[in-house]
Each structure stands twice: as structure tokens, then as C-alpha cells.
Amino acid sequence: MKKFAGLVFLFVALAVSAQAQISIMPKFGLTFSTVSFSEDVEDLFDLAGIDNQSKFGILGGAALNVGLNDMFSIQPELLFIQKGTSYEQLGIELDFSLNYLEIPILARVAFGSDKIKGFVLAGPSLGIGLGGKAEISALGFSESIDIKFGDEDGSGDLFLDNRLDFGLQFGGGVSLKLGPGSVVLDARYGLGLTNWFEEEDLIDTESANRTFALSLGYMIPLGGN
């Protein structure tokens, strides 16, 4: 985690020293997420007739866009983002909703006119788990359990081993010049690389977050060349 934070600092320091164009962008949006399990677990789900569905969530935060030239920029972000998944079988629903503080560092390539620009972006991300809820409901009955990270403490809550969620993000979008800044529509896919659980029991329980995010932001220039 210290190396990741150092990488963010290095990008910003280099850009500032080069007098790059710096912009800040508050943003908000929606997430559609699920969890990818190992083939062993997916086979068990299929055998039991369990349907794995996407979970809706929200995101919000800000991005710092550091333009190195007219086309290329580095874009570190600080986001609150919800991930999770949902399962259903014979009227029984089980929802997992997880809250993360996420720090992507993205390379961004823009193209188009001064008025309208398209862009593509990609890069690594680090998510820090804050907690969440697991809710089961059936026949009008529902129960909610807290999701925490770390070792179980006998409280009856659900614990996931890994608080940190390393991943990769890929996406693109369009920006429209409006007033002093630009309205930015961004769509991206988050590929989680960290397993929810460290230990494997009788079967391979490998699992990782998969997230599609759609956001709207307003990019405001702060200065530079």
C-alpha cells in the first residue's frame, strides 16, 4: 500500500514540476457489480439452481487530471464505491453489499475537438474495504448481518480475509466543453485481482470483484500551461 501511495505522489510531483495542465473533477455515478468465483463454486451453484445476479450500488468522489500534453494525462482518483453481488433460488435472496475507498491511477488518452472529446483510460487500482452488509430474505422474512474484514471474533458477523482489493480498470467516455470546464461521462470495467478468502477448504473458493461503473463529472481546470 505504501508503494501504491508513493506512485500517486510521484506522478503528481513530476507533473507539477513540468507545469502541466491540472484539473479537478468531482464525480458521482452507479455501479453494477458481481463476484467471479472459481469453476468449482460455479458448478455447485449450477447444480443447486442458484442464480448469480448483478448488485446495484453508488460511487462518488473526485479525480485529479494531470495533463502532460494535449492528448495524454495521468488521472489519480479517490472514490467511495459500492460493490457486491446477489443470489436467488426458489424465492430466497441473498445480497452482499460492500463499501470500499478506492484509489485508481489511470493513464488517459483524449482525442477530438476542443468542444467535444472522446477518451480511453486504463490503469491499476487499490480498494480499501470499509465494511458492508449481507442480507437474506425469504417469504417476507429478512435478516441483515454486518460484513467485516480480518479474523473472525465470534460476534456472528461475516468476515472476509482481504481488506485490500487490487485490480485493473479499463474504460472510456466523452467530455463536452461547458462553461469554464467540461462535463464528463465515463464508463469503465473494474477487474478485481484479489481473492475474498485466503484459505481454501475442500474446494477452490477463489473469488474476486467484477464491477461496471457509469459516472458523470465536471472537470475544472486549475491552471498550468
Q: pLDDT tens digits for 56-106?
A: 999 999 999 998 888 999 999 999 999 988 877 767 787 889 999 999 999
Q: pLDDT tens digits for 9-33?
A: 665 555 555 567 899 999 999 999 9
The pLDDT of residue 35 is 81
The pLDDT of residue 55 is 87
Please, which pLDDT band fits residue 40 given cuts at 50, 70 and 90?
low
> pTM score, two decimals?
0.82
Give the residue, 217 or 193, on which the prediction is more confident. 217
The pLDDT of residue 69 is 86
Q: Give the type of residue at 87.
A: Y
The pLDDT of residue 94 is 79
Tally the C-alpha atoms within 13 A of residue 23's C-alpha that lie toward its C-beta: 22
Q: How many residues make up the chain in this entry?
A: 225
Please, which pLDDT band fits residue 202 given cuts at 50, 70 and 90?
very low
pLDDT at position 199 over 70: no
Number of domains in the chain: 1
Give the residue, 177 or 222, on which the prediction is more confident. 177
The pLDDT of residue 73 is 93
The pLDDT of residue 197 is 73
**Domain CATH for 162:** 2.40.160.20
Q: pLDDT tens digits for 155-166?
A: 777 888 888 999
Per-residue burial over 12-39, b if 16 or more Cβ lie within 10 Å, else e, is beebeeeebbbbebebebebebbbebbe
How many angstroms separate the Cα of 220 from the Cα of each of 21, 37, 121, 167, 182? Answer: 11, 40, 19, 28, 7
Which residue range is the domain that position 154 belongs to? 2-223
Strands 158-160 and 116-138: unpaired
